[in-house]
Amino acid sequence: MMLRFPSSLRSFSVSASSSNGSPPVIGGSSGGVGPMILELPLEKIRRPLMRTRSNDQNKVKELMDSIRQIGLQVPIDVIEVDGAYYGFSGCHRYEAHQKLGLPTIRCKIRKGTKETLRHHLR
């Protein structure tokens, strides 16, 4: 199976492995039409709502401990619009990865449109 990515993503490594021992999910069960689960570099994920609220630092610390021990169990949700990735959920998991110095995070990626993006920004 060969995965194809936009040329802007060819400069980094993508992994479909799972740190919790379960098999990787790529393309969902609908033949590649549904969400994909991939590791994306943190710097490739835009967080447009990041400054609207602060994260609970106790929760971030608990997640850091858990991620160190057993890895990330639930991927963050990301919307891909025109080759750019936008994260609107998983704020605590994202910050835990940042603080741990991890370069990538497991994401459930769904394709979206500019209208989808506008809807999430309301």
Q: Return binding residues for ATP.
A: 90-93
- Tell the burial category of 90 from Cβ atoms under 10 Å away from its Cβ (0-12, 13-18, 19+): buried
Place of tokens 């969400």: 35
Instruction: Say what the alpha-carbon torsion angle 112, 40, 46, 100 is, to the nearest 10 degrees.
Output: 150
Q: Residues annotated in the binding site, as ranges? A: 90-93
> What's the half-sphere exposure (Cβ side, CA atoms, 13 Å) at 83?
7
Cβ–Cβ under 8 Å, residues 79 and 120:
yes
SS3 helix, strand, coil % of the chain, rounded to 5?
35, 20, 45
